[in-house]
């Protein structure tokens, strides 16, 4: 009987061992599938990151060009010497208004008109 019990115990041990081996194979297959999915996700994210870096670089270049254009435009607004025709008397720089002064004066005139219009709107409702 003792040999029979020993054989049964050995059979049970081998069955448990084989069952655990099968479970581990199944778990390994699932983990390998997850690993492939994660690697695919990583590759997609790298691709997205790369395309976004390229897009950001392009946008940065375009913005820099716009800023340069604005700076060039501003430099063009700065008048160092007034234009004088050959027939006209030479105007000294301090007597001639600069473009900046003209723009400021024009803006303040417009603001005054806007304020006057706002106040007149308020007065007509009363």
Q: What is the DSSP code string of 70-114?
A: HHHHHHHH--SS----SSSPPPPTTTSPPHHHHHHHHHHHHHHHH
Which of 6-10, 49-53, 110-114 comes out lowest in average pLDDT?
110-114
Q: How far apart (Å, rounded) are the C-alpha atoms in residues 48 and 54?
A: 10
Confidence of residue 17 (pLDDT cuts 50, 70, 90): very high
pLDDT tens by residue, 74-93? 888 875 555 555 555 554 44
Q: SS3 of 15, please? A: helix
> What is the model's pLDDT at position 121?
46
pLDDT at 20 over 90: yes
What pTM did the predictor assign?
Answer: 0.44
Tell me the C-alpha distance between 73 and 27, whole Å. Answer: 68
């Amino acid at each position: 009987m003792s040999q029979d019990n020993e054989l049964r115990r050995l059979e049970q041990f081998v069955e448990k061992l084989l069952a655990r081996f099968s479970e581990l194979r199944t778990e390994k297959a699932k983990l390998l599938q997850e690993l492939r999915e994660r690697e695919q996700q990583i590759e997609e994210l790298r691709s997205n990151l790369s395309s976004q870096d390229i897009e950001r670089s392009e946008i940065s270049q375009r913005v820099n060009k716009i800023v340069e254009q604005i700076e060039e435009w501003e430099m063009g607004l700065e008048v160092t010497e007034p234009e004088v025709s050959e027939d006209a008397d030479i105007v000294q720089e301090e007597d001639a208004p600069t473009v900046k002064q003209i723009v400021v004066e024009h803006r303040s005139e417009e603001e005054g008109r806007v304020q006057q219009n706002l106040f007149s709107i308020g007065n007509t409702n009363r």
